[in-house]
Amino acid sequence: MAFPIVDSHIHLFPESHLPTLSWHTPGSNPLGSQHSVDEYRAATKDSTSLRGFIFLETDRLSSVEEAGPDKHGWGHALDEISLLARIASGNPLPGEGHSSEDRGLCLGIVPWAPVPGGPDALEKYIALAKERAGSDEVWGKVRGVRYLVQDKPAGVMLQPAFIEGLKWLGRNGLTFDLGVDARQGGIWQLEEAVELMRRVYDGVEEKDKVTIVINHLCKPNLRLPATSTDAITTHADFIQWKSQVTAMAQHSSTYMKLSGAFSELPPLSIDSELDIESLVDKIQPWTDVAFDTFGPERVMFGSDWPVCNVGGGGNAVTWSRWSRVVAGVLQRRGLNEAQRRGFWGQVAVKAYGVTL
């Protein structure tokens, strides 16, 4: 049975915006070309159930400060909101790679925001973001914000202004997407995130708690030698990751995205013979933890397109491959119809408050 799919994690950027992306290096970046809705439609062409996507900010050149010497400021991030406003309203500029028919695909928008600046910076930035949205209809699709911490120094998440910034988001009905990286960044990032959640939620009324949507299983080390399940589940990397994810899951306002795995696994080529069962075996210890701790009611599907293309074999095959792997995970878990329907779409709808 096919269920309506909400892809809870994609990125979009026209080629003309590449110089504004903090991670882009001309001539050597595998993502250094246009990745807009046209390309996403090509990637998802085999899906008859896709209802739409949640857009996540693409890590533009920016700074917490609005402007100043040697600061990138907020301009590029606000320009990204203008781009998404044109996609969501069906008013493309020439060469941006989308059309008026694509407006219905954009279910939610999660832009960058200067969270470490605290409530004052957020209030000012959100007012400017609302202006860029251009209409109440588009602004209604802005469901939360992200400020990537996976590449930031230790201690950033625990600064008082960061904590108060997240509390401000909760009071104002905006979610926060949390991006940490256990494999390349270190387990300390997850430990800091656990303490962040404790401080953010402590003493806060349920109605004011910020919804935290955790990206990509916290990017675990999926490259551990998979000689057996026991070899993985008794490895120090796995045990430490599991401990921190379990601590995150104790908060009912947190959700987990099952996404991003192709970036952590050994890369596939477009000509690779896809062994679904083998890939499910490889990631099952990690996905079991996600479902066991968060429950099916707080785990959602995401593709991490187009980043997934780098490890998944390219735009022609990756989205379909990941969907098939995930379907194998759900089958292995024995989820019932309601739980599968939730995973593919309704969990994201609830977490972000979007409308299908």
Q: Which pTM was predicted?
A: 0.97
Cβ(10)–Cβ(53) below 8 Å: yes
Q: What is the pLDDT of residue 328?
A: 97
- By CB atoms closer than 10 A (0-12, 13-18, 19+), residue 5 is buried
In sequence order, what DSSP letters do the residues of 29-50 get, joined into one string?
-TT-S-BSHHHHHHHTTT-S-E
Q: What's the structural domain count of the chain?
A: 1
Q: What is the pLDDT of residue 272?
A: 83
Q: What is the pLDDT of residue 1?
A: 60
Encoding tokens for residue 108? Answer: 């939610």
- Whole-number Å distance between alpha carbons of 343 and 347: 6
Q: What is the pLDDT of residue 101?
A: 95
Of 139, 288, 300, 106, the closest CA to residue 211 belongs to 300
Written as tens digits, the pLDDT of the chain (356 aa) is: 689 999 999 999 999 999 999 999 988 889 999 999 999 999 999 999 999 999 999 999 999 999 878 889 999 999 999 999 999 999 999 999 999 999 999 999 999 999 999 999 999 999 999 999 999 999 999 999 999 999 999 999 999 999 999 999 999 999 999 999 999 999 999 999 999 999 999 999 999 999 999 999 999 999 998 778 899 999 999 999 999 999 999 999 999 999 999 999 999 999 988 899 999 999 999 999 999 999 999 999 999 999 999 999 999 999 999 999 999 999 999 999 999 999 999 999 999 999 98
Of 288, 298, 292, the closest CA to residue 251 belongs to 298
Q: What is the pLDDT of residue 297?
A: 98
Strand-pair partners of 57: none
Domain of residue 214 covers 5-352
Q: What is the pLDDT of residue 225?
A: 82
We report the CATH number of the domain holding residue 155 as 3.20.20.140
